């Protein structure tokens, strides 16, 4: 007899009873019926014991149905239930993070760099907002948050996640330019896809938590990759030249502006100096003019003497010449005297 029945799958009593009858078919004698009855009760007790308990692993949650109707959930450990198919248990792995791959498949589980992308072009190829084709590969990681909803509110949870993820990702890429998708907006696309996917799954009451959405590889299709690489190289060269020009501009322009500011400041200082000197000369002249107008002869003599004093202060020798003298004679020997 095969008594290896799994949890939640009670044995077929009619089949067991038939096997017992076949085994003791030829048994006759005193007390034979009682022995057969005891054996039958023993078999029923064994099946009752094996079908009345079940074990839930640490990363699992047990969902109990009674006559097909959901009644409760159980956590990790040993639990009991009504036997003979009255209550059935379905184990849902709520502590594990599941992964769905799009545009590629890992050939060895847990090894990221060993994968194949052949035959999955229908998933990865999509159209951008400027009508360019993008080859996008991504993954979606999720956990079962509500086992009841996961089992009973949606027919095929993994298929729904795949269809919704592909739809949301295609819409997100279709709303952007291809250059942005290939360069600066990869993180934004992943975040938006995760948010919208979670909102739709919550609307469907799928009982799923989207852990992350990661864009693994974003490239143009293989036939146009050389042209795309050439365009990228040209753009990088343009950026390099612009950066060098900007660096040179930052060196020359501030220095020229500093020199210009210095020249302007010196010119303004010189202009202020000349203006002040001119004003001083004007004031001095006006003062002299006032004195001259008050006493013309005295002022004229004073000016003459001041000018003659300045002139004599610059001379080294003094000669006095008589009108009738034919030759010049030194009046005072000043050389070598202190």
Helix 296-313 and helix 225-294, axial crossing angle in degrees, nearest 10: 120
Residue-wise pLDDT tens digits, 184-213: 889 999 999 999 999 999 999 999 999 999
Residue-wise pLDDT tens digits, 84-128: 778 899 999 999 999 999 988 877 665 555 667 667 788 889 999
Residue-wise pLDDT tens digits, 242-262: 999 999 889 898 888 888 999
Q: Which domain holds residue 305?
A: 222-313
Clarify whether residues 244 and 182 are in a common domain: no
pTM of the model: 0.58
Q: Look at residue 166 in the predicted model and tell me its pLDDT.
A: 94
Cα(93)–Cα(76) distance, integer angstroms: 11
Q: Look at residue 295 in the predicted model and tell me its pLDDT.
A: 77
Statement: residue 142 has pLDDT above 90: yes
Clarify whether residues 31 and 59 are in a common domain: yes
Q: Look at residue 328 in the predicted model and tell me its pLDDT.
A: 58
Query: Is the CB of residue 182 less than 8 Å from the CB of residue 114?
Result: no
What separation in angstroms does the CA of 286 have from each of 77, 281, 294, 302? 115, 8, 12, 16
Domain boundary (220, 240, 274) is at: 220
Clarify whether residues 207 and 238 are in a common domain: no
Statement: residue 324 has pLDDT above 60: yes
Clarify whether residues 70 and 117 are in a common domain: no
- For residue 22, being part of any structural domain is answered with yes
- For residue 328, being part of any structural domain is answered with no
**Quick one: what percent of the chain has pLDDT higher than 90?**
38
Clarify whether residues 115 and 131 are in a common domain: yes
In degrees and rounded to multiples of 5, residue 330 shows phi and psi of -70, 135
Domain boundary (195, 220, 245) is at: 220
Q: Which residue has the tokens 């900007």?
A: 246
Instruction: 187-191: list long-range contacts, CB under 8 Å, 24+ apart.
Output: 189/215, 190/138, 190/214, 190/215
Clarify whether residues 287 and 199 are in a common domain: no
Q: Look at residue 11 in the predicted model and tell me its pLDDT.
A: 52
């Amino acid at each position: 007899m095969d008594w290896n029945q799994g949890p939640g799958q009670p044995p077929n009593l009619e089949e067991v009873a038939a096997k017992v009858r076949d085994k003791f078919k030829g048994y006759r004698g005193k007390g034979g019926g009682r022995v057969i009855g005891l054996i039958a009760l023993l078999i029923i007790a064994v099946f009752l014991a094996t079908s009345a308990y079940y074990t839930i692993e640490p990363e699992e949650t047990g969902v109990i149905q009674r006559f097909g109707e959901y009644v409760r959930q159980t956590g990790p450990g040993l639990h009991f239930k009504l036997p003979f198919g009255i209550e059935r248990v379905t184990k849902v792995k709520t502590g594990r993070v599941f992964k769905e791959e799009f545009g590629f498949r890992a050939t060895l589980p847990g090894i990221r760099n060993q994968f194949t992308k052949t035959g999955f072009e229908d998933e990865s190829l999509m159209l951008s907002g400027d009508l360019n084709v993008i080859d996008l590969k991504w993954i979606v990681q999720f956990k079962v948050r509500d086992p009841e909803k996961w089992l009973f509110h949606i027919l095929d949870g993994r298929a729904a996640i795949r269809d919704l993820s592909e739809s949301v990702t295609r819409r997100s890429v279709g709303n952007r330019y291809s250059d942005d998708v290939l360069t600066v907006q990869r993180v934004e696309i992943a975040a938006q896809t995760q948010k919208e996917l979670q909102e739709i799954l919550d609307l469907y009451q799928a009982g799923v938590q989207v852990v992350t959405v990661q864009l693994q590889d974003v490239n143009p299709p293989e036939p146009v990759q050389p042209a795309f690489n050439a365009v990228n190289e040209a753009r990088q060269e343009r950026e390099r030249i612009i950066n060098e020009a900007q660096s040179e501009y930052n060196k020359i322009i501030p220095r020229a502006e500093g020199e210009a500011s210095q020249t302007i400041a010196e010119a303004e200082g010189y202009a202020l100096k000349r203006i002040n000197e001119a004003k001083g000369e004007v004031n001095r002249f006006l003062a002299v003019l006032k004195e001259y107008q008050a006493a013309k002869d005295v002022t004229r003599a004073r000016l003459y003497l001041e000018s003659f004093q300045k002139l004599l202060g610059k001379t080294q020798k003094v000669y006095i010449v008589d009108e009738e003298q034919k030759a010049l004679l030194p009046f005072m020997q000043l050389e070598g005297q202190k």
